[in-house]
Structures are given as C-alpha cells and as structure tokens.
Structure 1
Amino acid sequence: MTTELSADALSGLLEQARKDYQDLAGRGLSLNLTRGKPAPEQLDLSADLLSLPAGRHTAADGTDVRNYGGLQGLLEIREIFADVLQVPVGQLLAAGNSSLELMHDCLVHALLSVLPGAESRWVDQERIAFLCPVPGYDRHFALCERFGIEMIPVPMTAEGPDMAVVERLVAEDPAVKGIWCVPKYSNPDGVCYSDATVARLAAMSAAAPDFRIFWDNAYAAHHLTDEPAEIADLLAACAEAGNPDRAFVFGSTSKITAAGAGVAFFGSSPANVQWLLGNNAKRSIGPDKVNQLRHAMFLRDADGVRAHMERQRALLQPKFEMVARILETELGGTGLARWTDPKGGYFVTLEVPDGCAKEVVRRAAQAGIVLTPAGATHPYGDDPRDATIRIAPSYPGLAELEQAIEGLAVCVRLVGYEQQAA
C-alpha cells in the first residue's frame, strides 16, 4: 500500500503532518463517528408514525391490536416486507423493534432446545463454532462471545465470504453450526453477495445437520445510488438445494422508520418458523401490534417502502459522497490508505498500513474525533493486521462530518509517515 519516498521527502511530509495534527488538536473538536445511527433528519421523515394509528385499533383481519396474541405478527406488515426480505408471507414473523434481539433469541433457543434436523441441543455438545466473515459486524461477534461460541474468521471477497474456505470448514467440522452473513451492502465493506455465493451457501455439504445461515439482511432497502443492488433469494435456493431449514433471515425497519421503535422480522422454512413460534410462546404473549399497525398504515406497501427509502437516500448520499471526496483529496496517491465506495448500507471501510489502525484511532480520539475501536470489525476485537477502521457517516451533519473526515485523514498521514520514518 505504501509509496516509496526519499528520506528528504518523507521528512518534509512528516513535519507537515505533525503541524497539521497540532492544529487539529487545538480546535477543541467533539465529534463522534462510532455507530451507524440515523440522523435526526432521517428520523423526522417518519414523524407521522407518532400520530398513528389515529384511533384505529383493528387490523385488516379484524384483530384488536390492543390485546394479547398474534405471535406471528400482523398480516399487513408481513405482506409489505415479504417482498423486501424475499420471504413468503406465511414464513415471515413480525416481532418487536430489534432484529438483534431475534438473533439473540435464535441462539438461545438453539442452545436450549433442539433445532429441526438436530440430534441434540447445542448446549449439550462439547464445542460450538460460527464462521465470521471479516471485516464484519461487531454485534454479531458480541453475541457469540456472550454465549461462549467459538468464532472462526473467514476472509471477505468482492462477492461475499471466501466460499472455498467456508465450504471446507462447514464440510469438515460438525462443531461449525452457523455463519454470520450481511448479504446486501455488508457491514462494514458494503459488499453484495453474488448469485454464485448464495447458490454455494445453499447447496454446500455440512457436517452438522443443524447448520444455520444467520442471514442478517439489515440493509435490504438501503441504497445509495439510483441502481439498487439485487441479491439472490437464499430461502428459495436452500429449498431447491434440498436444505430448506438452513437459512434464518432477519430484517427490521430500524434504519427505515424509527430506530428505537421499529418492527423486526424473522423468515425461514415452515419447520423453523414453528420451532421459533413454539419457543417464543414461552416468553411472550405477542408483539406490539399497535406499532405494527402504525407501520403498515404509514408505509402502505413495498412501493411505499421504496419511496420512503428514496427520501432517506437524499439525506445519506451527500454524506457518503463527501467522505469519498475528502479521502481522495487528502489521502489519494499517498499510499497510506484504501477505502470502500459502497453503493448502499451505512458504513465505509478505511484500510491503513498494517500496524497503524489502533494508533490512528487513538490519535483521532486525542484530537476530539471518536471512532469505532480498531479491531471491532474482527472476532474478539482482534484485527491481526491492525489495519481496518470503520467509518459511520450517517449521524453527523455535513459540516461536522467534513471536520471529522478531514481530521481523520490528518491522523492517517501522521501515523503512516511516523511508521515509515521509524
């Protein structure tokens, strides 16, 4: 990645980087790029939710949404998101506000009750492992750590996880029970899984009869261009390959409407759906159907979701374009960085020279720019190369974002040139 420099040229660049950093540290900044939260302006797009359901308390099928029951969720909200998430309506559950909560529950239920096709509970087995494409989503890794599930890193490619590695590990090791996947505009690289990757995931041999793909389709509708990416239908591919129970599909409206008061979804085979419903019946008498009704009224249909997400894109796209423009201006041609240009999702991945990511994050924090901890994109917080930094551009305003990315570039130059001079 680095560019060869003469001693004099390097000395001059390092001196300028130190001056730039002193100036940056003297500004008294207080900026935060740690998490991919919607900005207040994005949340304002869903303000009408707060006035719904406007006295109405009956769903389309006559259900009184104020009362108990309805574990599968309201039909009208499931009909809207069946198309978005590529799950047949009858195999889709609508739940509370958090898809992460559904993933948590699926892990707990798999540990404590027998999955369809399983020989025993996971908790009764000597070792449980998950494949973790890297860089990946830190909250997936945190769930595995919470339950003592071993994490095995798998390299990401431009088409998804390295399928040669995945196929070998899944076929050879019966302790490998699952793989985490963010298939569309993945967190944090923005990769979209190719049709070939989806087909191989669906058809590959698995030593564990209860192997599951945790298909976290968090950014199914979160496009940043006027050419939305499309991915293959995993559930259909699994069924066609003779592995109908292999996929757990997750999604939510968290970054579509109100992040703290959305609707989460689970989709899978009929057997898996009945398994989850049976277990959930022990912990809940039903989801918040009032909130599901207000979402159905507000979004109306799948086309309504797409129109709403176009309004979201109008707010987000300029931020991502600004990040790309500043990184190119400040770091292009230096050999000190590479970065992704995502077509959707919520993150940009910045790759710095090996051994520099933690120091860049530390220097940025000292200057008042807080980033996601280096290593968060890898299991156990350990990036072996110490090279990956996740940028979350969504929450700050444009002026704050500009300051933050320019300041981050200063830190990259400083740390990179210091390393070369050492």
Structure 2
Amino acid sequence: MSLQTLPRDQIQHLHDEHLAAYRRLQDEQLTLDITRGKPSPAQLDLSEVLLSLPGAIRQDASGTDVRNYGGLDGNLQLRQTFAEILGIPVEQLLAGENASLSAMHDAIVYALLHGVPGSERPWSREDSIAFICPVPGYDRHFAITERFGIEMLTVPMLEDGPDMDAVRELVADPSVKGMWLVPTYSNPTGYTVSEDVARQLAEMTTAAPDFRIFWDNAYAVHHLTDERTPSADLLGLCAAAGNPDRAFVFASTSKVTFAGSGVGFFGSSPANVEWWRENISFRTIGPDKVNHLRHAMYLRDAEAVHQLMAGHREILAPKFDTVLRILSDRLGPHEVATWTRPKGGYFVSLEVVEGTAKRVVQLAREAGIALTPAGSAFPHGIDPRDSNIRIAPSMPTVDQLEVAIDGLATCVLLAATEQALAS
C-alpha cells in the first residue's frame, strides 16, 4: 500500500487515521529521549569495578608512580592492548586524556597554529582551507571545523565508504587540507569503509602535500552481531603507498568503559607522533596516569576488551532489533522511509520523505519524543533534502524504545500524508 500510488481519498483517510493516533500520543505526555548515543546505566554498570581500581597499587608495570607528573606517551600496557585492536605499532600509538574528541579538536588547532609535517606554513596562514565531510556524518566533527571557519565540502557516504570519485575531484584543490571519516560502523549510518576504499584514500594524489585524514575509529569494537567487522589498516596502507603521514587515527574507550572517564588514543606515522608529542608537551605534563592504570588493570588485553564488548552487545542488540522491527512493521508497507541496518555502532540512519524531516522532528518533540535536530548529520545543520533523521537507541530501555519508535513512525506517516495532501 505505497503512499505514492494511493488515490487522494485514501491518502486523506490515512492522514486522518495517523492524526488521531498522533493526538492520542500527545495525550500520553511522554518524556522520551533518543537524541544522542549515550551508553545506558546498564552498560556503564559493566565497568563498575573501575571505581575500585587501582586500589592500593601506586605504580604501573614500568615502575612509574602514577600519582606524579610525566609520561606523555601514556600507559604502555594499555597502549599495547589498543595497538593490537587498532592494528597500529605500539610505538606509534599514544594514550592521552579522557576522550578522542578533544584530541581531534587539538589536532585542528595545532595544524592551524603550526602546520603539520609537510606543511609549507601554518594552515591559518593559507588563503582558505577546506575539509571533506562525508554525509550523513558526525555532527561534532562538523562543529569543530565550523568553529574555526574551515569550509566544509560534502561527499556522499556510501555503504563501502565515501564516494571516491567525489573525493578525488575535491583533493585536486590545494586548499583541501583534510577529511573527516568514521571508518567502522560510521555515525550515523553504521557503514564501514572497505579495504578497497581505504587503499584508494591512501594512494590518491592530493594537491595539498599536508593533506590529513582524520580517521575517527570510535566504534572499532562495537559489534551488534557475532561478526567482528575489521577496520581497514589505513595507517599501513598510507605507509605502503608512500604517503605515511596522511592518516591521523583517533580512538577511545568512551563507549567501552565509562563515557566521561575513558582514555583517548592518537596514532599515526613516526613523524606525526613526534609532532603530536611536541605540541602536547606545551599543553600538559602528562595524562591522567591513575585512570590509565585502572584501565590497564581492567582491560588486560585485547580479548578482555572483546569480552566486555560482548556484554555491551547483549544490552544493545535487542534495542536495535526493536527499532528495526517497528520501522519495518509501521513504515515498510507505505514506502515512506528507508533506514540502515547496522551491524555495529550506536545509530540507525532514517531517511524520510524529502522535505519532511524537520516536520517529523517537530511533531515528535511536541509529542514528548526528543530527537536530534533534523540536519544535524550535515555541515551547518543543513540537510539539502530535509530527509535524514538519526536514531540513537542506546539510552532508553527496550520498553521505552517501543513507545518512542512507534511514536516516531506515527510522526513520519503523518508528515508524509500532510505533504502528499498539500501537493
């Protein structure tokens, strides 16, 4: 019963039906929030033991007193664990503060102030600079570049990674200095960059000799199925292609242990790591080594991390199943939306009828269901098709999600019939 093929009187009937359902939804006075990918309390409880660590232990495996200054590179044991997970030589991976987002912000600032290895001058002294932004993408990436006045050039994010024809066209401009990319279970689509696309990114010719890919591997171990989708080794591919400095790799334990008290990582070529080390030496005398030690004790090795993430999956997978089931049951028959079916990560990307996303979000808000603003997954918050909505299932309970996604479906159908009747 596709909405596109129905006669007007039947569309009117559907509209009236969904308007009545919407008014009942409003009467329930809901307060549900599916805006951001925050771990639920049940997920945070998985790492409760961290609050009792490191206990009476004062020294890490190297004999360093973790209560004192120093140690720019971070805890070696923890770096060894995540070097294995990320496929990065341990000497090229540093452990830092509590989140990778701050490291990405600082990398932009350092590049603006001082340039990066291969720069002729600081980026801020260029006539103009731009970043490639696969869309839909991560709103906080776009917020950083917007904050510093960096032009953002969009390319489609496909199921195997960014549209490489579009990327190659853009990097022919020397003002294009960088690119944002979440390579594994990307935010918000859940797509993963294939080995072939990663190789193309590593090998492509760029007009800017100091072009950098900000490879934000936030969801490398965040699987929703038994399949552990591997991340492409961009750093190794860049080295093999003769472009060793092209990749800045970021990761963290923010959605592995405690979201606000994790450990962030920066990995790159030897030249980039030395550049990073030099810049942070003026900013800090060392990271939180107590937090590093407690994480090293808890996350003993890569397999311990995977076991912990299996616990996350047991909590998250039923929530994603709930979202996909209700979208299929409620929206599938009417062909008014499409959505991704991620194998990992934290989001479902919903595409509604073009021109209705803002209306859907408004209707949901007025019914007590909070969604990320329409357009958030695009630079400057502007979705040219006004069709994308990001769903974050992690925080609510399954019962709350049942209500929220069913209500969202009602809003999608109401907005679609409104538009159909207005045309």
Asked if Structure 1 and Structure 2 have the same fold, meaning a TM-score greater than 0.5 normalized by the shorter chain, the answer is yes
Equivalent-residue separation in structure 1 for 2:253 and 2:222 (angstroms): 11
Q: How many Å apart are 1:2 and its aligned residue?
A: 5.2
* CA distances 1:233-280 after superposition (whole Å, capped 9, x unpaired): 100000000000000000000000000000000000000000011010
Q: Secondary structure at the match of 2:327?
A: helix
1:157 alignment partner AA: L
Equivalent-residue separation in structure 2 for 1:61 and 1:349 (angstroms): 45
Q: Secondary structure at the match of 1:154?
A: strand
Q: Secondary structure at the match of 1:155?
A: strand
Q: Secondary structure at the match of 2:33?
A: strand
Q: Which residue of 2 aligns with 1:374?
A: 374
Equivalent-residue separation in structure 1 for 2:22 and 2:378 (angstroms): 28
* Mapping for residues 18-417 of structure 1, pairs under 5 Å: 18-170=19-171, 172-417=172-417
Question: Considering only aligned residues, what root-mean-square deviation do their CA atoms show, in Å?
Answer: 0.8
2:187 alignment partner AA: N
Q: How many Å apart are 1:39 and its aligned residue?
A: 0.1
Alignment check: 8 A CA contact 1:180 1:213 kept: yes
Q: Secondary structure at the match of 2:229?
A: coil
Equivalent-residue separation in structure 2 for 1:289 and 1:224 (angstroms): 31
Equivalent-residue separation in structure 1 for 2:380 and 2:299 (angstroms): 39
Q: Secondary structure at the match of 1:332?
A: helix
Equivalent-residue separation in structure 1 for 2:78 and 2:231 (angstroms): 22
Q: Secondary structure at the match of 1:312?
A: helix
1:351 alignment partner AA: E
Relative to structure 1, the CA distance from residue 209 to residue 360 in structure 2 (aligned partners, 3 Å threshold; closer, same or farther) is same
* CA distances 1:200-226 after superposition (whole Å, capped 9, x unpaired): 000000100100000000000000000
Q: How many Å apart are 1:57 and its aligned residue?
A: 1.1
Equivalent-residue separation in structure 1 for 2:231 and 2:29 (angstroms): 44
1:301 alignment partner AA: D
Equivalent-residue separation in structure 2 for 1:222 and 1:38 (angstroms): 12
Equivalent-residue separation in structure 2 for 1:355 and 1:35 (angstroms): 23
1:401 alignment partner AA: L
Equivalent-residue separation in structure 2 for 1:222 and 1:5 (angstroms): 42
Q: How many Å apart are 1:231 and its aligned residue?
A: 2.6
Q: How many Å apart are 1:289 and its aligned residue?
A: 0.5
TM-score, scaled to structure 2 = 0.99
2:101 alignment partner AA: L
Q: How many residues get paired?
A: 421
Q: Secondary structure at the match of 2:200?
A: helix
1:188 alignment partner AA: P
* CA distances 1:321-351 after superposition (whole Å, capped 9, x unpaired): 0000011111112011111100000000110
Alignment check: 8 A CA contact 1:2 1:353 kept: no
Q: Secondary structure at the match of 2:390?
A: strand
Q: Secondary structure at the match of 1:108?
A: helix
Q: How many Å apart are 1:8 and its aligned residue?
A: 2.1
* CA distances 1:128-156 after superposition (whole Å, capped 9, x unpaired): 10000000000000000111100001111
Q: How many Å apart are 1:167 and its aligned residue?
A: 1.0
Equivalent-residue separation in structure 1 for 2:375 and 2:93 (angstroms): 34
1:114 alignment partner AA: G
Q: How many Å apart are 1:3 and its aligned residue?
A: 2.6
Alignment check: 8 A CA contact 2:188 2:377 kept: yes
Q: Secondary structure at the match of 2:334?
A: coil
Q: How many Å apart are 1:9 and its aligned residue?
A: 1.4
Equivalent-residue separation in structure 1 for 2:294 and 2:420 (angstroms): 57
Equivalent-residue separation in structure 2 for 1:67 and 1:20 (angstroms): 61
Alignment check: 8 A CA contact 1:364 1:407 kept: yes
Equivalent-residue separation in structure 2 for 1:146 and 1:345 (angstroms): 26
Q: Secondary structure at the match of 2:316?
A: helix
Q: How many Å apart are 1:114 and its aligned residue?
A: 2.6
Alignment check: 8 A CA contact 1:97 1:260 kept: yes
Equivalent-residue separation in structure 2 for 1:331 and 1:317 (angstroms): 21
1:46 alignment partner AA: S
Q: Secondary structure at the match of 1:3?
A: helix
Structure 2 unaligned regions, length at least 5:
none
Structure 1 unaligned regions, length at least 5:
none
* CA distances 1:334-385 after superposition (whole Å, capped 9, x unpaired): 0111111000000001100110000000000000001000000000100000
2:129 alignment partner AA: I
TM-score, scaled to structure 1 = 0.99
Equivalent-residue separation in structure 2 for 1:207 and 1:30 (angstroms): 50
Q: Secondary structure at the match of 2:153?
A: strand
Alignment check: 8 A CA contact 2:3 2:11 kept: no
Q: Secondary structure at the match of 2:235?
A: helix
Equivalent-residue separation in structure 1 for 2:378 and 2:234 (angstroms): 25
Q: Secondary structure at the match of 1:29?
A: coil
1:230 alignment partner AA: P
1:394 alignment partner AA: S
Alignment check: 8 A CA contact 2:220 2:231 kept: no
Equivalent-residue separation in structure 1 for 2:88 and 2:259 (angstroms): 22
